[in-house]
Amino acid sequence: MTAPGSDERGPAGTPIELAAIERCRPAVDAVAARTPVFNSRVLSQRVGASVAMKAENLQRTGSFKVRGVASKLASLGQGASAGIVAASAGNHAQAVAFGAAQAGVACHVFMPRDAPVAKVNATESYGATTELGGDAVDDCLAMAAARAAETGEVLVHPFDDAAVITGQGTLGLELVEQVPDLAMAVVPLGGGGLASGVAVALKALRPDVRIVAVQAAVCAPFAAALGVGRPVTGGAPGSLADGITVKRPGTVTLPIVQALVDDVVTVEEDTIAEAMILLLERAKLVVEGAGAVGVAALLSGAVSPPSRGTTAVVLSGGNVDTNLLAVAIRRHETNEGRRLVLFARISDRPGHLARLLTVIGDAGANVIDVGHLREGYDLHVRETGVQLVVETRGPEHAQRVLAAVHGAAYDVRPVEEPRWSRRAGEAGASS
């Protein structure tokens, strides 16, 4: 691998060159799968351009991270015999644990205290020892570095390491081979390892390809860092896209992203959830929030794909906590008008709740939850509050259900104004 001070440098003078990515490819191919690329009719129709998806959620250990770890361990050779230590929100942890098991060396991983249980369990299933602590990956990195200094174990950084970046760059090689008319690549952006590696490969082989990196809006320090040309700490943890909520860009990755990535955009939590559910419903792919941000960027209009050629979106991982996925599904159903959460004030006399439920049932809706709320509301002494969760067939049906209960003289309202209702109001105001 070319050292940062070498005369041989990659695209735009970056310290990692295409040859290094090509050299590490056999080591990566020995461990990682060549993940498929799926054309997406639904996304293509939504954005008016050809869109394909690189399904790294189907990768071994559930994410692209196994590529970088394979490259790093190959570069270490026998240097990892004392064991390795890492820090991760989950995907890198699993990849490092898997790689250590393959190499027959001990592995210790630091993870945030609120790391998804599924990712913690999966990491331990590969034989690694996990330790939870800190609010974010950055805190865990400090703990991992301290342990490495104390024990002599090798720190395998999740992104700010040249060998890791070259391993991630093999994904870029595959994109060139699998998408002949590639015009744009949309890549998730956390610490920048994936975006950097893919950008080096693509700009060396196909300099005409536009590269867009996507961050979650709640934790997007790259924009500020790119403005001043040095890593800046910013953002906060607590996102559906937990895998990319890195508060500080890497010192190795920042210059590469600055030199080679054409644009950095952000997406909001609701759009990330929408992207996750669209992929689940229409593509039959389970993709975690961090892996779905590229699709979210297309859905929100943050990224405008070119009309010619294919836009490839990298679905970087699929290690989603099932509880989080259930929350995203419920939120999506509510936003799309297929699930109503209603508050009703009714007489606290026998038969009144049964009559309300009959009205809703006669309107063709399904009541899936009923809860009495007798305190904390301005209720008459002979009234009770009831919260209802109702399944409908969509916004128009939801409107008919509401009209039916109002027509029966019941005081019923949504707990909060649903998004589909706001959209209808905005459309009416603009017509």
Q: Sheet containing 107-111: which strands, arranged edge to edge?
A: 129-132, 107-111, 84-87, 154-155
The confidence score (pLDDT) of residue 164 equals 97
Write down the catalytic residue from 40, 50, 88, 316.
316
Read off the pLDDT band of 13 (50, 70, 90). low
What's the chain's average pLDDT?
A: 90
pLDDT reported for residue 376: 60
In the chain, what percentage of residues exceed pLDDT 70? 93
> What's the fold here for domain 11-63+162-330?
Rossmann fold (3.40.50)
pLDDT tens track for 32-76: 999 999 999 999 999 999 999 999 999 999 999 999 999 999 999
Give 336-430's CATH code, choosing from 3.30.750.24, 3.30.70.260, 3.30.530.20, 3.40.50.720. Answer: 3.30.70.260
pLDDT digits (tens, 9 = 90+) for 392-430: 999 999 999 999 999 999 999 888 776 766 555 554 545
Distance, in Å, from the CA atom of 120 to the CA atom of 332, rounded to the nearest integer, reads 27
What is the per-residue pLDDT for 236? 64
Residue 421: the pLDDT is: 65
The CATH 3.30.70.260 portion of the chain extends over 336-430
Output the DSSP codes for 29-96. Answer: HTTS----EEE-HHHHHHHTSEEEEEEGGGSGGGBTHHHHHHHHHHHHGGGGTT-EEEE-SSHHHHHH
Q: Is 65 known to be catalytic? A: yes
Q: Would you call 54 a catalytic residue per the annotation? A: no
The CATH class of the 65-155 domain is: alpha beta
Q: What is the pLDDT of residues 192-244, one digit of tens each?
A: 999 999 999 999 999 999 999 999 999 888 988 887 888 888 766 578 888 88
Handedness of CA 260, 178, 315, 68 (dihedral sign): negative
424: CB partners within 8 A, 6+ apart: 395
Does residue 1 surpass a pLDDT of 60?
no
Average pLDDT over residues 105-115: 92
Distance in angstroms (rounded) separating the CA atoms of residues 4 and 216: 30
**CATH 3.40.50.1100 in the chain, residue ranges:** 11-63+162-330, 65-155
Residues of 369-394 as b/e, b for ≥16 C-beta within 10 angstroms?
Answer: eeeeeeeeeeeeeebbbbebbbbbee
In the chain, the largest separation of any two C-alpha atoms, in whole Å, equals: 86
Q: Residues with Cβ < 8 Å from 98, sequence gap 6 or more? A: 60, 61, 66, 69, 126
Out of 65, 72, 203, 247, the active site residue is 65
